[in-house]
Amino acid sequence: MRRRVIVAGAGAAGLIAAGYAAKQGAEVTVLEKNKTVAKKIRISGKGRCNLTNAGDLNAFIASYPGNGKFLYSALNSFTNWDLLDLFHSLGVETKTERGDRIFPVSDDANQIADALYQFVTKKGVMIRYNTPVSKLLTSKHSIKGVKFLNGELEADSVIVTTGGASYPRTGSNGDGYALAKAVGHTIRPIIPALVPLRTKEPWVQEISGLSLRNVAVTVGNGTTEQSLFGEMQFAHFGVTGPIVLTLSSQVGMWLRENSQEIRMTIDLKPALSRETLDARVRQDFQHYARKQLCNGLNDLLPRSLIPILIQLSGISPEKKINQISRQERSQLVQVLKALPLTITSTLPIAAAIVTAGGIDVTEVNPKTMESKYIKGLYFAGEVLDIDGITGGFNLQAAFSTGYLAGIHGGKG
């Protein structure tokens, strides 16, 4: 008799798990609360879907703060190249961009979602829509099936891939945590990761939408600092963009620890030392000596940022450049090297790209994704306490853990 497998959730982890479980010869049913599959994938990467990264295994492990080592077996068993081979076999061409980020050539996340749908349906997987799982059925520490609104289904294996708590409109509202907790699993505190940050300073509204490349952002709580180099963006509420999102997990932890505001500085010219930058400013000042300061920084900064830098440096914008003192120039250089901001909070978890926290990974077998408490119960994807930085690492973690759960859940 074929092994019966139920997969709860038709996202990245769930579809990969379902396809590979079916490949083992299992009879697989996916229960999905939405009326379509892969709803979160379809909006990921601003609709482009950064599906993985071209880095090596060590780069991957280092890209998951806290629990990266848990993923060693998963990432080694189903690598980024295995994933690309799968998508290429499904007709998806890919390309590698800055930061080793890999996207479909089409720049269309729907193509990734549709390819995964094709992958599972060709393997004979049945998908039942509008069917959220409400309870895991167990007996003597073994899985027996699941319960949902209109009935129950028996199963030899159940794979929970319900996602985290971010983007709840895609169906990820954290219900997988309740399922796991009800059968004895520990849930690590749920917090937003890869989430924009609110700032106290009102001037960010004046430059909302402005992107800065090749800057260095430093955040600190008074005793510890973290810095990243790359791209960021201003928004009406504060700051966002790749390096801000990556730093946001640490900022969120600091805010919860003592609820004090967090200091952020932006080095607008990280490639230049303070002395070199001062020399560059002096050179521009000589060129624009007779102009007002507000009209003499166009070669150095985006136009919309100039009034803010001048205001923070404490110099009158109407002052002629040839009248600016050495002390005033030093103040300007100081702001260029450390533009100050005050972080008051993260945006709520609903605005986060990824959820940090979730099912405690010490209670899950890293080589199979099977529960250490309930035989035949598996977990994969964001429902686990795993979160990565931006760059395709979170989706790869979902695909790799889904693969292990599917392989082992499908053969028992």
Structural domain including 210 reads: 196-346
CA dihedral 107, 113, 115, 119 (to 10 degrees): 160
- Whether residues 137 and 217 share a domain: the answer is no
- Whether residues 41 and 115 share a domain: the answer is yes
Q: What is the mean pLDDT of residues 309-327?
A: 95
Query: Using one digit for the tens of pLDDT, what is the confidence trace for 359-409?
Result: 999 999 999 999 999 999 999 999 999 999 999 999 999 999 999 999 999
- Whether residues 33 and 71 share a domain: the answer is yes
Query: Using one digit for the tens of pLDDT, what is the confidence trace for 226-239?
Result: 999 999 999 999 99
- Whether residues 179 and 213 share a domain: the answer is no
Number of separate domains in the chain: 2
Work out the percent of the chain whose per-residue pLDDT is above 70.
100
Residue 88 lies in a domain: yes
Burial state string for 259-285 with b = 16 or more CB within 10 A and e = fewer than 16: eebbbbbbbbbeebeeeebbebbeeeb
How far is CA 187 from each of CA 139, 163, 294, 366, rounded to the nearest angstrom?
Answer: 22, 13, 54, 17
In order, the DSSP letters of 219-242 are: EE-SS-EEEEEEEEEE-SSEEESH
How far apart CA 361 and CA 132 sit, in angstroms, is 24
End residue of a domain, out of 291, 323, 346: 346
- Whether residues 257 and 204 share a domain: the answer is yes
End residue of a domain, out of 291, 322, 346: 346
pLDDT band at 150 (very low <50, low <70, confident <90, very high): confident
